Structure 1
Amino acid sequence: MSQAPEDFRGLVLARFNYKESDLLVKMLTDHFGKRMFLFRRARKPGFKMTAAVLPFTLSNFTGRINAPGLSYVQAVRGSHAFTKISADLTLNAYSSYILALIDMAFDEDTPIPEWFRFAEQALTLIDQGTDPQIVTNIAEIQLLPAFGVGPNWRGCSVCGRNDLPLDFSDKYGGLLCSDHWQLDERRYHASERAIYYLRLFSHVDIATVGKVAVSEQTRRELRTMIDRMYDGLVGVQPKAKRFLDELNGAGSHIQALKPRKPKNSPSDFSE
């Protein structure tokens, strides 16, 4: 238990009504992982921290971090609302899904500063107009290891070669080269283009994501492949994903990407 006040940054993940007028707010913090905070009388008119605990809001707080148990905020030192996400149903759906995946992937109170930074950057990109499908795709692929699934993206899972056509295999937990496709009749039969993008998703730095322009066919193929990975290898699906699928309809898809040199410049993704 931490008795002394702590300064931290927090991103709102979820809110729950509590008792007559209180509010429980689950936040992803920069140093302490996911924490549940109790805000007393937060549902009463005139509550001074209302803006800081709205969905899709990132704030600087001072408060008491308790483990186990509820934590408490004593002061807010500035907030940033992702206003475009809040105002747009589609952006809202993609962002909610990304945050829900991060929430499901990690235990409470586990420090995950790298995923706090990822979430902040992801929402910033979406709020600034970067294609939300691309940001979501990167999150889905890079979160696989957190769910206990670590696909081999380097080369063939049997022989290690990466100079032959590659496909993805659930059975072998990663890529198979054309010399070994006969080992898995249920391999994905993916296009070379889709495999290229999936391998890129696995390691691209989200902070470098730039422009996106990819064919509709590739987008649909990637969406289908990633859905199959999560259904077959992960086995969990947040409610936010089901809503996103309903919003996009049967033709739900993800755009793809391609990096631009030099390395220190933002990556433009195009096909």
Structure 2
Amino acid sequence: MAQRHKVTDFHGIIMYRKDYQERDLLVKMLTLEHGKKMFFVRGAKKRGFKLTGDILPFTYGHYVGDIREEGLSYVNASKATEHFSHISEDIFKNAYATYIMSLLDFAFPDSEPIPEWYDKLHAGMGLIDQGLDAAVIANIFEVQLLPVFGVQPELRGCVICGESKPPLDYSESYGGLLCPRHYHMDPRRLHLDQRTVFYLRQFSVLDLATLNSIAVKTETKKHLRRFLDQIYNDTVGVHPKSKRFIDQMNEWESPLTPDSD
């Protein structure tokens, strides 16, 4: 039975690309209309290839292509593309943007339309490109992707009684927050500081399209990183290569990073 396919317009964000044979490329895109797709681009490494600038990493825009239900799809042309140039030029922005896209690649199967996550990725990349704190934007994606990975942390209030007023702490055993009346139920609760709890709760419901500034203290960022590493290691079990590079980068920059209010 012949595979169904159609030549159509679509909107895409380049997630990554890799060499395929001598002159060709495989380009992974998150598309607005068709979810994640792998595109075969014939002759992409030849000098003078007409779509060279349209399939660079961190490019997004309006394309025309042959969309296949299974296997490789094809990019035929571009109508209008733009580039997150500041992400490309900065190793730290590049690393966090790559990590966010790696998480999305792990979280969703190919060919599943996820328009809300296309919009989130577009907004998040734009914020990083504008110079907002890439580490915090990555944290927001990590928190909001937890339910997609099958982890449903209760961050609205105490998992036992629903109390939502601070102080609150996190229990891995109960999968969410505990209020002081129920701290005794988990002697191994994480003893998170309240600023970290506050940001976790905010991140879980934040609309990236409305975000225009970030001011998180360096110490709080370290606590957020420690908490999310623990949850991802213990419960999610996803370890993109880009995350290891970020961990190395944090070791390089930690003595040089100023605190912020």
- Report TM bin, short chain: over 0.9
- 2:93 corresponds to 1:128: no
- Deviations, residues 57-86 of structure 1 (Å, cap 9, x unaligned): 102111111011111111110111111100
Superposition map of 1:30-109 within 5 A: 30-109=32-111
The one-letter amino acid paired with 2:119 is R
- Deviations, residues 104-126 of structure 1 (Å, cap 9, x unaligned): 11011111111111111111111
- Deviations, residues 23-64 of structure 1 (Å, cap 9, x unaligned): 111110001000010111111111111111111110211111
Residues 170 and 232 in structure 1, CA contact (< 8 A), matched pair in contact too: no
- Deviations, residues 194-220 of structure 1 (Å, cap 9, x unaligned): 111100000011111122223222221
Following the alignment from structure 2 to structure 1, what is the Cα–Cα distance between the partners of residues 27 and 249? 26
Count of equivalent residues: 256
Aligned to 2:161: 159
The one-letter amino acid paired with 1:186 is R
Of the three residues 184, 198, 218, the one matched with 2:200 is 198
- 2:214 corresponds to 1:212: yes
Residues 166 and 194 in structure 2, CA contact (< 8 A), matched pair in contact too: no
User: More deviation in 211-220 or 70-79?
Assistant: 211-220
Runs of 4+ deviating beyond 4 Å:
none
- Deviations, residues 141-172 of structure 1 (Å, cap 9, x unaligned): 00111111111111111121223521111111
Residues 5 and 69 in structure 2, CA contact (< 8 A), matched pair in contact too: no
Identity level (%):
47
Following the alignment from structure 1 to structure 2, what is the Cα–Cα distance between the partners of residues 222 and 241? 15
Structure 1 residue 243, shift from structure 2 partner: 0.4
Residues 96 and 134 in structure 2, CA contact (< 8 A), matched pair in contact too: yes
Q: Tell me, what secondary structure is at the counterpart of 2:154?
A: coil
Of the three residues 233, 236, 243, the one matched with 2:235 is 233
Residues 169 and 177 in structure 2, CA contact (< 8 A), matched pair in contact too: yes
The one-letter amino acid paired with 1:144 is L
User: More deviation in 207-216 or 169-178?
Assistant: 207-216
- 2:168 corresponds to 1:173: no
**Which residues of structure 1 form unaligned runs of 5+?**
256-269
Following the alignment from structure 2 to structure 1, what is the Cα–Cα distance between the partners of residues 16 and 119? 18
Following the alignment from structure 2 to structure 1, what is the Cα–Cα distance between the partners of residues 251 and 6? 50
Following the alignment from structure 2 to structure 1, what is the Cα–Cα distance between the partners of residues 71 and 195? 48
Aligned to 1:267: none
- 2:247 corresponds to 1:245: yes
Aligned to 2:149: 147
Pick closer, same or farther for the CA change 1:164–1:39 going to 2, 3 Å.
Answer: closer
- TM-score with structure 2 setting the length: 0.93
After superposition, the CA RMSD in angstroms is 1.8
